[in-house]
Amino acid sequence: MLFTSYEFIFFMAVLLVLYYLVPKKSQWVLLLLASYVFYWVANPAYLLYIGVTTVTIYFGALKIEKNLNRQTEYIKLHKEELSKEEKKEYKKQQKKIRFRWAALFVCLNIGILAVVKYTNFFLTCLSPVISLFSGNEGVSVVDLLVPMGISFYTFQAVGYLVDVYRGTIPAEKNLFRFALFVSFFPQLVQGPISRYSDLAETLYAEHSFDKKNVAYGLQRILWGYFKKLIIADRIFAAVSTILTNQEEYQGAYLVVGMIFYTIQLYADFTGGIDVTIGVAQTLGIRVQENFNLPYFSMSLKEYWRRWHISMCNWFRDYIFYPVSSSNALQKFAKFSRKRFGESAGKRLPVYVASFVVWFSTGLWHGANWNFIVWGLANWAVLMISEELEPLYAKFHSKVNVKETKWYRAFCMVRTYLLVCCLNLFDCYSSVTDTFRAFKSMLTTFNWQILWNGALLKVGLSGLDYIILAFGVLVMSGVSIVKCKTGARDFVASKPYPVRFAVWFGLFVIVLLMGTYGIGYDSSQFIYNQF
């Protein structure tokens, strides 16, 4: 059951009515049932996977917390008898036990994710070795079920377990409440990856019918549908035509295709999150924002603070910081200082930790080398930018342009084009094809396609371009408004006829001009495969 289907609209209508009719203390139970129905309709077999993750992480967290409580009690009870050294040693031992439990359940669940998502990738990588021993050419792929959203809910559950291990949150005592945290249906499609400390309170609270929440939630859903059906699904036709046929479409076509893909990705992903946050808001539940005007970024570093925020924060807190502060990397830091001097010695450990993060981020995005290369390309650009910082600082000390509008505009356009280029690695499963595309962009000069009508033969009509231009303009306008105030607040501050015109107009536009069933599964959001 996917967000842009009639089944989902019916599901939400029924859920909303029931949600505000049932006793408030049972609302979370209804949500749990709804989430499992949502997942069951997608595929009943998925329930086994999410069930295993839920139960194992739930028991793991309780086990860890029980150990921590026992430790605290023991220290309290034997406060006078134990020396400082003995207390330290006891705490160290108990922490080791807790670490082993945490590691067991994290490895189990990441292992499940690894097996269902990456078995074929590993088999393909090991194929030459396997063939050598088996005598067969190549290996057969394994047909494994990949539960919808497994990357999202696994990371969300693992994050919770690590937070319990760190002592920053208490373990959830109620298995069913915990099951809701893992399976909350709006997040199953594309995230965001929520933290227990952010989501739990709002998820389990009792919610009265609030006209503003329901209205704003529905508006947000409609806005998500606009981005998805007016822009993303429409522009996909051209993206698909151009980028799946490199023989025919070269040079300027590829530049256009690359830019169109970035527009599609933005509209699709942020549109999906709009629907997620909107659905949650209609239920009175606050889900954290996952995007913050990413194309207004002045650098790639800033872009990764504004794009897919929950994923970036997850990798920062659960991979980057643990790797950076590990004994191994601290020893490497000492070695780097002695070997390469203070300046390089300071930077190398950061670069190594970042490498691990970006390799993992690439791998998380997809079970193929092009995604890993995408991750490492981001890493390379970020590291080069760090190395060039002294040069930039020197430039800005001599040329006073940093705060000028045109320099800021230049930085935004530069970052946008850089992101477009990096995103191209998403489009081709072969990395060679991506580099071939870049070469073609730089060596084939066929810019006449922009005015000779060639772009009307790539799956988009003149009317489609007009609608797309309108859609992108509206999307950009809303982003500019959001720089100062909330877009819905902005509309809500206008007279009633204006408000009615905006929302009714948007509804009609989505109904009449939305792209429905163009031969591409229009109900799939790009990130749904995760």
Closer to another protein by CB, 327 or 443: give it.
Answer: 327
Closer to another protein by CB, 25 or 398: give it.
Answer: 398
Which of 62, 350, 431, 449 binds another protein (CB under 8 A)? It is 350
Helix axes 46-77, 84-134, angle to 10 degrees: 150
Helix axes 27-42, 6-19, angle to 10 degrees: 170
Burial (0-12, 13-18, 19+ Cβ within 10 Å), 325: exposed
Answer whether 172's CB lies under 8 Å from 58's CB: yes
Q: CB atoms < 10 A from the CB of 61, how many?
A: 27
CB of 491 to another protein, least distance (A): 30
Question: Which of the stretches 150-158, 346-354, 410-418, 444-452 binds another protein when contact is defined by CB under 8 A?
Answer: 346-354
Question: Which of the stretches 137-145, 323-331, 363-371, 455-463 binds another protein when contact is defined by CB under 8 A?
Answer: 323-331
Closer to another protein by CB, 249 or 304: give it.
Answer: 304
Helices marked H in 399-430 = 405-427
Which of 128, 138, 170, 322 binds another protein (CB under 8 A)? It is 322
305 interacts with another protein by CB under 8 A: yes
316 interacts with another protein by CB under 8 A: yes
Q: Provide, for the chain, the percentages of residues in helix, strand and coil under a 3-state DSSP scheme, each rounded to the nearest 5.
A: 75, 0, 25
Closer to another protein by CB, 254 or 353: give it.
Answer: 353
Residues in 115-154 that interact with another protein by CB under 8 A: none
In angstroms, the Cα distances linking 451 to 27, 135, 223 are 57, 56, 32
Closer to another protein by CB, 29 or 352: give it.
Answer: 352
Helix axes 252-282, 405-427, angle to 10 degrees: 90
CB of 504 to another protein, least distance (A): 40
Helix axes 252-282, 233-243, angle to 10 degrees: 150
CB of 303 to another protein, least distance (A): 13
Residues in 27-56 that interact with another protein by CB under 8 A: none
Helix axes 327-365, 369-398, angle to 10 degrees: 120
212 interacts with another protein by CB under 8 A: no
Which of 177, 286, 347, 408 binds another protein (CB under 8 A)? It is 347
Closer to another protein by CB, 301 or 394: give it.
Answer: 301
Answer whether 328's CB lies under 8 Å from 356's CB: no
Q: Tell me, what DSSP letter sits at residue 26?
A: G
Which of 212, 334, 339, 494 binds another protein (CB under 8 A)? It is 334
Answer whether 260's CB lies under 8 Å from 238's CB: yes
Q: Tell me, what DSSP letter sits at residue 15?
A: H
Residues in 285-304 that interact with another protein by CB under 8 A: 301
Per rule CB under 8 A, count of chain residues that contact another protein: 25
Which of 349, 362, 375, 459 binds another protein (CB under 8 A)? It is 349
Cα separation, 285 vs 203, in Å, equals 6
SS3 251: coil
Which of 40, 122, 321, 392 binds another protein (CB under 8 A)? It is 321
306 interacts with another protein by CB under 8 A: no
CB of 187 to another protein, least distance (A): 24
Closer to another protein by CB, 350 or 513: give it.
Answer: 350
Answer whether 385's CB lies under 8 Å from 379's CB: no
Question: Which of the stretches 61-69, 160-168, 237-245, 272-280 binds another protein when contact is defined by CB under 8 A?
Answer: 160-168
439 interacts with another protein by CB under 8 A: no
Answer whether 229's CB lies under 8 Å from 4's CB: yes
CB of 252 to another protein, least distance (A): 37
Question: Which of the stretches 43-51, 107-115, 116-124, 343-351 binds another protein when contact is defined by CB under 8 A?
Answer: 343-351
Q: Give the per-residue contact string, 409-438, with another protein (x = CB under 8 A; - = no).
A: ------------------------------
Residues in 372-401 that interact with another protein by CB under 8 A: 386
Cα separation, 391 vs 385, in Å, equals 10
Six-digit token string for 397: 């000390």
CB of 294 to another protein, least distance (A): 16
Q: Give the per-residue contact string, 162-201, with another protein (x = CB under 8 A; - = no).
A: ----xxx---------------------------------
88 interacts with another protein by CB under 8 A: yes
The full 3-state SS of 118-186, as one line of letters, equals HHHHHHHHHHHHHHHHHCCCCCCCCCCCCCCCHHHHHHHHHHHHHHHHHCCCCCCCCHHHHHHHHHCCH
Closest CA to 242 of 439, 454, 444: 454
Which of 131, 330, 452, 485 binds another protein (CB under 8 A)? It is 330
Closer to another protein by CB, 337 or 482: give it.
Answer: 337
Helix axes 46-77, 150-166, angle to 10 degrees: 0
Which residues would be at the binding site for another protein (CB under 8 A)?
Answer: 88, 166-168, 301, 305, 316-317, 320-322, 324-325, 327, 330, 333-334, 337, 346-347, 349-350, 353-354, 386
